[in-house]
Amino acid sequence: MEKTTGQSKKIRRHMEGIVVSDRMQKTVVVAVTRIKEHPKYKKRFRVTKKYKAHDESDEHKMGDKVVIEESRPLSRSKRWVVIS
Protein backbone atom coordinates (compact mmCIF):
# COMPACT_ATOMS: atom_id res chain seq x y z
CA MET A 1 0.00 0.00 0.00
CA GLU A 2 1.41 3.39 -1.02
CA LYS A 3 1.46 6.37 1.29
CA THR A 4 0.94 9.90 0.10
CA THR A 5 2.86 12.81 1.52
CA GLY A 6 -0.31 14.73 2.37
CA GLN A 7 0.70 17.54 0.04
CA SER A 8 -2.18 17.12 -2.38
CA LYS A 9 -2.88 20.18 -4.47
CA LYS A 10 -6.23 21.83 -3.80
CA ILE A 11 -8.56 21.96 -6.77
CA ARG A 12 -9.23 25.57 -7.66
CA ARG A 13 -12.55 26.79 -9.01
CA HIS A 14 -12.78 28.38 -12.46
CA MET A 15 -15.48 30.77 -13.66
CA GLU A 16 -16.16 32.47 -16.96
CA GLY A 17 -17.43 36.03 -17.11
CA ILE A 18 -17.28 39.44 -18.75
CA VAL A 19 -15.08 42.35 -17.63
CA VAL A 20 -17.34 45.20 -16.49
CA SER A 21 -14.67 47.53 -15.09
CA ASP A 22 -10.96 47.99 -15.72
CA ARG A 23 -10.33 51.34 -14.01
CA MET A 24 -8.16 50.00 -11.18
CA GLN A 25 -4.46 49.21 -11.56
CA LYS A 26 -3.84 45.47 -12.07
CA THR A 27 -7.46 44.68 -11.15
CA VAL A 28 -10.57 43.99 -13.21
CA VAL A 29 -14.15 43.46 -12.10
CA VAL A 30 -15.69 40.38 -13.72
CA ALA A 31 -19.45 39.77 -13.81
CA VAL A 32 -20.27 36.06 -13.71
CA THR A 33 -23.79 35.04 -14.70
CA ARG A 34 -25.23 31.65 -13.82
CA ILE A 35 -28.63 30.01 -13.98
CA LYS A 36 -30.38 29.02 -10.75
CA GLU A 37 -33.58 27.07 -10.32
CA HIS A 38 -36.22 27.82 -7.71
CA PRO A 39 -36.47 24.82 -5.37
CA LYS A 40 -40.26 24.71 -5.22
CA TYR A 41 -41.53 26.27 -8.45
CA LYS A 42 -38.69 25.02 -10.71
CA LYS A 43 -38.49 28.31 -12.59
CA ARG A 44 -35.00 29.09 -13.83
CA PHE A 45 -33.57 32.59 -13.46
CA ARG A 46 -30.26 34.39 -13.95
CA VAL A 47 -28.06 35.45 -11.06
CA THR A 48 -25.13 37.79 -11.66
CA LYS A 49 -22.28 38.28 -9.21
CA LYS A 50 -19.21 40.49 -9.53
CA TYR A 51 -15.71 39.37 -8.58
CA LYS A 52 -12.52 41.43 -8.39
CA ALA A 53 -9.70 39.62 -10.15
CA HIS A 54 -5.97 40.26 -10.42
CA ASP A 55 -4.78 41.15 -13.94
CA GLU A 56 -0.99 41.48 -13.69
CA SER A 57 -0.36 42.80 -17.21
CA ASP A 58 -3.44 45.09 -17.33
CA GLU A 59 -4.29 43.74 -20.80
CA HIS A 60 -8.02 43.00 -20.39
CA LYS A 61 -10.52 45.74 -21.19
CA MET A 62 -14.25 46.23 -20.68
CA GLY A 63 -16.38 43.73 -22.57
CA ASP A 64 -13.69 41.04 -22.80
CA LYS A 65 -14.68 37.48 -21.97
CA VAL A 66 -12.26 36.06 -19.39
CA VAL A 67 -11.73 32.97 -17.23
CA ILE A 68 -10.87 33.56 -13.58
CA GLU A 69 -9.34 31.13 -11.11
CA GLU A 70 -9.55 31.06 -7.34
CA SER A 71 -6.34 32.02 -5.51
CA ARG A 72 -5.01 33.07 -2.14
CA PRO A 73 -6.23 36.45 -0.81
CA LEU A 74 -4.37 39.18 -2.70
CA SER A 75 -6.09 42.09 -0.95
CA ARG A 76 -9.19 42.72 1.16
CA SER A 77 -11.54 41.95 -1.73
CA LYS A 78 -9.39 40.18 -4.37
CA ARG A 79 -9.44 36.36 -4.28
CA TRP A 80 -9.36 35.60 -8.02
CA VAL A 81 -6.77 35.75 -10.82
CA VAL A 82 -7.41 36.17 -14.56
CA ILE A 83 -5.96 33.17 -16.41
CA SER A 84 -7.19 33.80 -19.96
> Does residue 59 fall inside a structural domain?
yes
d(CA 28, CA 83): 12
The predicted structure's pLDDT at residue 26: 96
What is the bridge-based pairing of β-strands 78-82 and 44-54?
Answer: parallel
Give how many domains the chain has, as a whole number.
Answer: 1
pLDDT digits (tens, 9 = 90+) for 14-62: 999 999 999 999 999 999 999 999 999 999 999 999 999 999 999 999 9
| Residue 6: pLDDT over 80 | no
Which structural domain, as residue segments, surrounds residue 31?
14-82
The predicted structure's pLDDT at residue 4: 58
> Does residue 3 fall inside a structural domain?
no
> Does residue 2 fall inside a structural domain?
no
CATH number at residue 59: 2.40.50.140
| Residue 73: pLDDT over 70 | yes
DSSP 8-state assignment for residue 9:
P
> Does residue 61 fall inside a structural domain?
yes
> Does residue 71 fall inside a structural domain?
yes
> Does residue 7 fall inside a structural domain?
no
> Does residue 72 fall inside a structural domain?
yes
The CA-CA-CA angle for residues 79, 26, 33, to 5°, reads 50
The predicted structure's pLDDT at residue 7: 67
